[in-house]
Amino acid sequence: MKILIIDVDSLRPDHLGCYGYHRNTSPNIDEIAEKGVRFTNYYTSDAPCMPSRTALTTGKMGIRTGLVNHGGKASKMRVSEQNLDFKDNLDLYSFAGIFRQKGMDTALISTFAERHSAWHFNAGWQEVLNIGKLGEEIASDVTPMALEWLKKKEGQDDWVLYLNYWDPHTPYRTPVDYGEPFGNDPLPEWLTEEKLRSDRELVGPHSAREVDMFWNTPIAGYPRHISEIKDMEDMRKLIDGYDTGVRYMDDHLGKVFLELKRQKIYDDVLIIITGDHGENLGELGIYAEHGTADQYTCNIPMIIKYPDLVEGHVDNELHYSLDLLPTLTDLLDAEPSDDWDGQSFVSTLTEGIPNGRNSLVLSQNAHVCQRSVRFEDWLYIRTYHDGYHLFDKHQLYNLKDDPHETRNLASEYPDIVKDAVVILMDWHDDMMSRMNKPHDPMWTVLEEGGPYHANGHLEMYINERLIPTGRIEAAEKLKERHLKEF
């Protein structure tokens, strides 16, 4: 078997043509989706980048590995969860380890491990090809390495190539000479002048007035990236910046697919297209960031194509991204670990049989501390630290009627909130019961003062941004909530 895995950072499904987007962002991905299996309710269990890829690598949720943050004690895996003897078991029972079990030649082209000091992400790979730009690379840096590796493997079987693209990740970085492919295309209809006026009164990192975390200063060298959304022209530039990154990456995927076609193996390769997390582009008042445990940070694409699988199938069941590990284990007839949290959906791939979950629990502890429950048409969000956004403790959204999370229904449907809380508590009990030394790493984050990307900036933000821009009421609420002795 030959396997090509494409992992695109910050790729949200609804900005791909095959998921219904009105802009032509992804013709090459769409071609794969047309012949493969496309999943609509596929979610990372732990956002953003490092917690997500750690869950994928280990097959375990962040609450069990201990890695849920981007800094501090909860940004490293707990030794107690690594089953240490002479060594841990990630060589054979990690995402790459199952390929090693089967004696396959494997290569990972990614700077991710070095960017986050997440060296466990490299576990099990025979070759790790590091471009060396710490996530600042663009597709034209990645694709030549991929093509060179594929040409070396021409005529061989039993290989796996994992490609990590960063182009839709902030700051949006597609070269200026690529042009403006969406200059004549309308914005998504829900992004209106009325919404922008309302959002400019909101506060928190990556809000309309401070797209660049807590600041509105343009980032040198990134002309496509907007640091403040003052009007609808700025809104267009921001959405165009994201979509252009997706299209630039897709163009380069086309070059990879052409090489497979040249070798006459395109129809024989198991191709997987996914991401680590999505991107908020206005949802919850957040722009150009993946900073919550909501639908648009946690929902990711999953497209799988292979001759032995059902063709042109769409699956609407609920799945975690870490479910991919036991699924591939089943496809390869490899040996699974009895300590994974994933659930195989191989029957969906081979027979089109629904094989999802009744509910999912989604976590974010790097920008905010939130846990969410995704079930039926509902998304419930419980906030433990708001990351200075002044989020309500309980949020409830009907994603069928309100797909962009504009109306919090928690007070209107208290029984639904209670149902979600029961699901959350039952999940928490189950996770704690499966740990060697039960401890919830979210409480470590809270004890350290809050999530890494928010911690330590509040007084500056109040004094240098909120008060000067007239958001006095919000500044006072933040003081009351977070600075008891300000």
pLDDT of 142 reads 98
Question: Does residue 430 lie within any of the structural domains?
Answer: no
pLDDT band at 486 (very low <50, low <70, confident <90, very high): very low
| Cβ atoms within 10 Å, residue 164 | 24
Domain that holds residue 120: 2-199+217-356
Question: Does residue 377 lie within any of the structural domains?
Answer: no
Domain CATH number, residue 344:
3.40.720.10
| Cβ atoms within 10 Å, residue 417 | 20
pLDDT of 436 reads 84
Q: How far apart are CA 239 and CA 466, in angstroms?
A: 25
Give the count of domains, the chain.
Answer: 1
Mean pLDDT across the chain, nearest whole number? Answer: 96
Burial class of residue 158 in the structure, from the number of CB atoms within 10 Å of its CB (0-12 exposed, 13-18 middle, 19+ buried): middle
| Strand, coil or helix: 217 | coil
Looking at the whole model, is its pTM more than 0.85?
yes
Residue 74 has pLDDT above 50, yes or no: yes
Beta strands (DSSP E) in 185-244 are none
Rounded mean pLDDT of 464-482? 95
Say how many CA atoms lie within 13 Å of 164 toward its Cβ.
Answer: 27
Question: Does residue 427 lie within any of the structural domains?
Answer: no
Question: Does residue 31 lie within any of the structural domains?
Answer: yes
Question: Does residue 456 lie within any of the structural domains?
Answer: no
pLDDT band at 83 (very low <50, low <70, confident <90, very high): low
Quote the radius of gyration of the chain (alpha carbons, Å). Answer: 22
Residue 79 has pLDDT above 80, yes or no: no
DSSP 299: B
pLDDT of 462 reads 96
Phi, psi of 159 (to 5 degrees): -130, 160
What percentage of the chain exceeds 90 in pLDDT?
Answer: 96
Nearest Cα to 204, choosing from 479, 474, 482, 20?
474
Residue 485 has pLDDT above 60, yes or no: no
Beta strands (DSSP E) in 57-172 are 105-109, 127-129, 159-165
pLDDT of 104 reads 98
Residue 362 has pLDDT above 90, yes or no: yes
Q: How far apart are CA 190 and CA 364, in angstroms?
A: 25
Question: Does residue 473 lie within any of the structural domains?
Answer: no
Question: Does residue 224 lie within any of the structural domains?
Answer: yes
Question: Does residue 284 lie within any of the structural domains?
Answer: yes
Nearest Cα to 58, choosing from 50, 131, 102?
50
User: 444-450 long-range CB contacts below 8 Å, 24 or more apart?
Assistant: 444/66, 444/69, 444/72, 444/73, 444/74, 445/68, 445/69, 445/72, 445/74, 445/365, 445/369, 445/385, 446/369, 446/384, 446/385, 448/72, 448/73, 448/74, 450/369, 450/385, 450/387
